[in-house]
Chains A and B, each alone.
Chain A
């Protein structure tokens, strides 16, 4: 069943299915498996294809090593919205590993975090229990930013001088 998510600033149907289990049968179609499972079953999963990974909040992107840019999609799980580790993982994936695929937030983050997540490099959001149309507005909370971020490569102090 396709699911409605926010991606690149719009609401879209999406076919990626999140697998939470570390073992057992896998569904057909596009799947996002735990990073640990991918590390454990790398060869079989690579042979299967249509596989993406999700990072738990205590898993740095570094555990994926050189494989990062082989994925079309990497998801970061937020077990609770107050757990902000994933914000750092997003920036690290984009800035330090040059990841250019779909970077997705999954789990218990909330609408009011979309603007910050987006600035940390997330472009898709599997937002639960939310009015997605209304949530799109939260992406637009701020039009000016002080800091460097994925969507703002120059900090304001440089832009001011420019």
Chain B
């Protein structure tokens, strides 16, 4: 993991002091609400429906045990003893007091954490594959690149007042687990013909009101130019992005209006002016970043023995067997696995975690790993380096903590925004819809028979719950003051990126589980043996689903 040096510490401490001063001036009436808005947003502070909300940054989803303990501590000291993992790998406090936020930021700074640029019209937290560094299909670890670019984007003086927010994701594996096609900029790490690291650059993807799949504007950007190239993209966007209508202000609208080719030309022009200047990365700087992400001290394992122990445990305990096949992931290192810590227990809002659970997970990360934890955009946690021989013991402990719901990758691993229960923007509640679906489909055998299905729920068209890219998407809409839900099918966040198609007229909240049930029935009746829900949908189209639901 990256460790701060004196420069990083200086910068973060100065930031806390700056925001403390700004908050005091705001409370003293020296700054207007309108002026304070971008200042507080760029420090993670929203004003929500019931209380302020503070979004704390987890850079590219990487945490250590001490940081997670500190978060637990903060939720007790300043909040109600729980927090919520968001779909951008960050963590949110739902009940902080505005005047205490500078103290929270100061506490965070003691463990090298912050809430910088987690909101506002600036460059947001970089997101990455939660299995970076351990994935079997990895081309190169995305985390050092995220760190290099985190530093580039932190307090970038030119890009703090962009037309709109700006989200960047980096994927370093063959299978895209970072949804690079759905970000303002998506970077895919590749190797060029000489074996050197390079990037495919996608621009103008995004969800929200106008979902768009990003366009590739560079197919092989040499690594040393990544900063100057991103600077050029942002400069074009900062100057030409629309500022007259916030719904048309994202870079995707500019790229669409100009055409990807013309946008690319404009970026090239800007880039030529700055390309070989001081922004050019040195090999020393790259090596320095990579030095923080070296593999931990793995022990040589007797992989065959570990496997046979696992097989015995699997046979003797069916619940463990289910967890093992759904919640663990293959690892680069023989004898090790990565483990999903499920935050999808039925009856708990997806992504929510209590202070006690945070402390317990911190302890488990030390007992069963190297003190590292990842957060995922599916709103779960990951323990990245668990010895296979320890999996059974870990499962028992997670199970006792209610963190072992064996539903990763299934219908019930629902991605869900906080919705109308918390968010001032929402048209409708989303948490109760998630719970109703989880309760309706609580038969694990049926869930497993359905196989891989991604079901995503957003409480409004801002799409924090990524409904457009769920195999099944649910969107809360307002219909004459009533909360209704529109269903879409066929979205995908992966390499085969797609935006879901709307099924038809929307439904009342209590109708949703039945509708989902009919959709699943249609899939089961039409599927071939090898097909996932998404594959069947793609083969037979939306009509059979429509007919069944609206019959």
Of B132-140, B274-282, B358-366, the stretch lying at the interface with chain A is B274-282
A91 contacts B by Cβ under 8 Å: yes
A residues within 8 A CB of B151?
146, 156-157
B residues within 8 A CB of A141?
14, 18
- Bound CA–CA A146/B227 (angstroms): 12
A residues within 8 A CB of B282?
157-158, 161
With both beta carbons as reference points, the residue of chain A lying nearest to B35 in the complex is identified as A110
Interface size on B, residues (CB 8 A): 41
B348 contacts A by Cβ under 8 Å: no
With both beta carbons as reference points, the residue of chain B lying nearest to A162 in the complex is identified as B284
Of B157-165, B210-218, B402-410, the stretch lying at the interface with chain A is B157-165
Query: What does DSSP make chain B's interface, helix, strand, loop or mixed?
Result: helix
- Bound CA–CA A147/B281 (angstroms): 12
Number of A-B contacts (CB under 8 A): 109
Are B161 and A87 in contact, with the CB atoms below 8 A? yes
Binary contact track B102-127/A, C-beta < 8 Å → 1, others 0:
00000000000000000001000000
Binary contact track A130-162/B, C-beta < 8 Å → 1, others 0:
000000010001111111110001111110110
A116-B239 contact in complex given A82-B121, A157-B282, C-beta closer than 8 Å = no
What are 13 of the A-B contact pairs (CB < 8 Å)? A81-B161, A84-B160, A84-B238, A85-B243, A87-B159, A88-B235, A96-B273, A119-B157, A143-B14, A146-B11, A147-B152, A157-B285, A160-B285
A120 contacts B by Cβ under 8 Å: yes
B528 contacts A by Cβ under 8 Å: no
A residues within 8 A CB of B273?
95-96
- Bound CA–CA A81/B120 (angstroms): 13
A residues within 8 A CB of B5?
160
Separation in Å of the A135 CB from the closest CB of chain B? 11
Question: A116's contact among B10, B121, B157, by CB below 8 Å, is which?
Answer: B157
- Bound CA–CA A137/B20 (angstroms): 14
B interface residues with partner A (beta carbon < 8 Å): 5, 7, 10-11, 14-15, 18, 21-22, 31, 35, 38-39, 121, 148, 151-152, 154-162, 227, 235, 238-239, 243, 273-274, 277-279, 281-282, 284-285, 288
- Bound CA–CA A144/B156 (angstroms): 12
Question: A161's contact among B11, B235, B285, by CB below 8 Å, is which?
Answer: B285
Are A148 and B279 in contact, with the CB atoms below 8 A? yes
- Bound CA–CA A148/B31 (angstroms): 30
A50 contacts B by Cβ under 8 Å: no
A interface residues with partner B (beta carbon < 8 Å): 60, 81-85, 87-89, 91-92, 95-96, 110, 112-113, 115-117, 119-120, 137, 141-149, 153-158, 160-161
B residues within 8 A CB of A110?
31, 35
- Bound CA–CA A142/B15 (angstroms): 8
- Bound CA–CA A83/B238 (angstroms): 9
Separation in Å of the B354 CB from the closest CB of chain A? 35
B residues within 8 A CB of A81?
35, 38, 161
Are A84 and B279 in contact, with the CB atoms below 8 A? no
Separation in Å of the B155 CB from the closest CB of chain A? 7
- Bound CA–CA A92/B235 (angstroms): 10
A residues within 8 A CB of B161?
81-84, 87, 113
Are A146 and B154 in contact, with the CB atoms below 8 A? yes
With both beta carbons as reference points, the residue of chain A lying nearest to B277 in the complex is identified as A148
Separation in Å of the B143 CB from the closest CB of chain A? 16
A residues within 8 A CB of B14?
141-144
